[in-house]
Structure 1
Amino acid sequence: MSAPISTGPAPDPAPAPRPAPGSVPLDLSGRTALVTGAAGGIGRACALRLAAAGALVRAVDRAAGGLDELTEAARGLPGRVEPRLLDLTDLDAAEAAAAGTDILVNNAGLQLVRPLEEFPPDVFHTVLTVMLEAPFRLIRGALPGMYAHGWGRIVNISSVHGLRASPFKSAYVAAKHGLEGLSKTAALEGAPHGVTSNCVNPGYVRTPLVERQIADQAAAHGIPAERVLTEVLLKDSALKRLIEPEEVADAVLYLCGPQASFVTGTSLVLDGGWTAH
């Protein structure tokens, strides 16, 4: 029998794997957040999530009834919702409302579906004012306080339409593409001061804004309203469903937490595979 081949000393046992860090509870006690478009849909879900984490939430909207319902829904949460009636076309008031905030969620939006040659110029102007110029003014109002505290979180609710275009949505697509650039600029300027800025990009969300589109989309595409969801809204999505507002709010909350402290200048895409094409 041949002698066994020596392979040298036995190797040291492999080091035990490090345990994965546990989930860090998100405590926003002492933080002040501002959420625009807070009376319904994504904004309402974000306001409730932030209040549940302990933040004082300035809930901004022009719908008094929706703000009343939000305030009632927030009763008993660790944080508090402070309703603020505000029309974001009042840009000076918007900038003033953001002073002293630690977290800013730019969510408010509006939509009109029309071919370019039929798109009303006044509506185009309003969409760009509410969805791009107002976020700029809100960021401008929030940054001095964030810089002074050495901490801040800007979350811009963009859309898959911040990354892709669709026909008949010139104002919305233009505003969301502009918001993407604004968000990245804020990220670069804010980084030395402990401020992050990111976009969240959902596909079609189950909100009144989407529901109100269906008739316009049916007319624009020349199909019955009942075919709009499958043939237009979800046509390019691998996952054939609407995303829920609470799913978007969870992404917003993640970007405010310690696990996301190195995430800035990017877009968190929640589009069901739309942009995978």
Structure 2
Amino acid sequence: MSQARLMDGTALAARIVEETAKRAAVLTGRTGTAPCLATVLVGEDPASVTYVKMKQNRCRRAGITSRHVALPAATTTGDLVATLRELSADPGVHGILLQHPMGDHIDERAAFEAIAPEKDVDGVTFASFATMSFGLPGFVSCTPGGIMRLLDEYGVDPAGKRAVVVGRSAILGKPAGMLLLARDATVTYCHSRTRDLSAAVREADIVVAAVGRPRLIRGQDLKPGAVVVDAGYNAGNVGDVDFDSAVERASLITPVPGGVGPMTIATLLEQTVDAAERQLAA
């Protein structure tokens, strides 16, 4: 079997951002108001600081205004909730991104739920998960949404296929499975307590690795010809899939970096413009 084709998230994301920038320019010209994304960061985790700066740079390229709120590491849940509610009530802010992780002392779910659903462009609230699950208008979790766009770009129709999602986080694994289910895939969730993970993965036509364990999925675990989406990112630019062995067995595979990551940010920017269009039309 020949080596897998790479699913180039960088190229697709660039096209999405280009189209998003055109929409932002039209909206700004029509209303006199540019779309605005507020980013909120608690503490100074180096990876989070870098990630937020990257998002701010991408916002500028897409004609989106960014407003950054930096809070000290000692910020309480109550103070964070108050900040998010204030941003939710601000008509000059159209989308809100709360960067995580935010410290073990903070109730993450309480913080997410302080974001108004119409500004939840990262797709992290209960409301967003519900609308996504029922196929109603709303915002998808950005990484799962980006994964579905990648599958579409490379002609992968999930209908009738077996999909295995390795990971069950509220903002990645669970919504990825729900989006695949909505497209008529037969979905299996695997996680840290799954017995014989390799056997489950070997049945999959589509594998989404989103568990945060470097090189957990190996080539010998894959069904020949499987489509492999690596949504993991670990130290040393290593994903949750052992790329070197998986590329010999899969038909399509995402690289790390350059696969899912750029699609996450592109989806965030696109949904920020979606949110601005809806709010400025109201």
TM over 0.5: no
Q: TM-score range by the shorter chain?
A: 0.3 to 0.5
TM-score (norm 2): 0.37
TM-score (norm 1): 0.37
**Which structure is larger by alpha-carbon Rg, 1 or 2?**
1
